[in-house]
Structure 1
């Protein structure tokens, strides 16, 4: 299968070419183009590729302009650093949409989608249904998720609303789930940490381990720990040590740096 890469950054071309060689060695990069004009010229003067990887932001405009100038003869997998173009991308020949930096597992999944849609000569109708399904998936990914803003908790004989922004961390203790507020109040909740993890904005809360889910604003210090783990100092202080596992340490440091 011949592939065309449309990308105006040479380093990105090299990285994608290397990933393709690792994920699908049978693929051949038949050519590259770095601009809208260059892509139009390539497609008009060369055999049609079987698949096109296409960056959206090119040196001389957005790649959507290519589809306005000519009929693109192959399915497209878009690559870009911005997710705002997702729905627009699927109005043309797109079968998938990859955010940069492109990850090996995402690339492999995109190639699998291509095979499912085009590898066995499926009918136009069935391909259309699959594309509609992909559009719906992308719409869900691009639209902002609705995360919990507050919890209603019982305190003595009354119920109190507590804003999520006031919560320093959630934790489990003796089979119960509780949270500690920034001013060191403690309240129980009728949710498991796994459930809470899906309710809360991942930009603000990180699952440090099976016992703790911490707010970024509560992390005061990060210490190197035995076996490449991390030890966290929280404010307010936790009664137990808060450790980030070796497997999650890299993700945690990336999360803290955003």
Structure 2
């Protein structure tokens, strides 16, 4: 079983090669490539490959470019430092991924997945349309997004720019979306909370429930509540109770801990 490793960190190559040998001695790392350029050159030689391990971030760019310049003849297991949220597209594809630093159990599970898929279909190959769709999804998820930096709000007879860092939270009230600043000013917006959710940096703003989108800096206290919910104390104080549902509690705690 011939394996290609595309990875620009020599230490990572040695560690992966060692783990592969320990898990399955029949695996043979036939070549390694540290860049897009060397990977494309090697793949253009039409090597006989069964499996490819490919780092997403290489020294000369993202490895997705390899698919544009050469035929990838074998299934790919991506390796990456991105978190699971960023690469969730892998969950619904026959390609797998491994988070760095690679753990033995995770690598063994990925290899088992490969063998299971190979047992279902011979030879194992991912249709070109699938890899194209996956690459497009990953590009959209991984490349930096342009989040809103400010909002223009109406105040009396003038318009005021409000920086997102000045916003404590957004609140939906009687069908109207309100913006509340850290100095307790209140303005109305023409956007719904659903629309705002896609505009704002998720590292800074969290959709606590259907009525509130909150800035991490506005959370003053977190209280356990009935049915595993969480009750929040915000600054400035909200007129309504701000609860995080049981289903969202784990995500909220993870968000607050970042």
**Structure 2 length normalisation: TM-score?**
0.65
Structure 1, 126-135 or 246-255: larger mean CA deviation: 126-135
**Cross-structure match for 2:241:** 241
Aligned counterparts of 1:232 and 1:225: Cα–Cα separation in 2: 10
> Retained in 2: the 8 A contact 1:87–1:138?
no
Q: CA deviation at 1:47?
A: 6.9
1:111 is paired with a residue of what secondary structure? coil
CA distance, structure 2, for counterparts of residue 199 and residue 226 of structure 1 = 32
**Structure 1 residue 35, shift from structure 2 partner:** 3.4
Taking only aligned residues, the RMSD between alpha carbons, in angstroms, comes to 4.2
Which stretch has the larger CA shift, 184-193 or 91-100? 91-100
1:1-258 to structure 2, matched below 5 A, reads: 34-36=15-17, 46=26, 64-65=33-34, 71=47, 73-76=49-52, 84-85=57-58, 87-88=62-63, 91=66, 95=76, 97=78, 108-111=91-94, 119=121, 127-258=127-258
Does the aligned pair in 2 maintain the 1:96–1:134 contact within 8 Å?
no
- Post-superposition offset of 1:130: 3.7
Q: CA deviation at 1:87?
A: 2.5
How many Å apart are 1:119 and its aligned residue? 4.4
Call closer, same or farther: CA 1:77–1:211 in 2, change over 3 Å: farther
Secondary structure at the aligned position of 2:202 is classed as coil
Question: Does the aligned pair in 2 maintain the 1:48–1:73 contact within 8 Å?
Answer: no
Structure 1 unaligned segments of length 5 or more: list them: 7-32, 50-62
Contact 2:171 2:213 in 1 (8 A): yes
In structure 2, distance between residues paired with 1:239 and 1:98? 47
CA contact (8 A) 1:95 1:131 kept: no
Cα deviation digits, residues 140-182 of structure 1 (max 9, x gap): 2221011000110100000001001100000100111001000
Write the distance in 2 (CA, Å) between the matches of 1:234 and 1:73.
56
Partners in 2 of 1:46 and 1:3 — Cα distance?
A: 9
The 8 Å contact of residues 227 and 246 in structure 1, kept in 2 or not, is answered as: yes
Name the SS of the counterpart of 2:63 in structure 1.
helix
How many residues are treated as equivalent by the alignment? 209
Instruction: With the length of structure 1 as denominator, give the TM-score of the two structures.
Output: 0.65
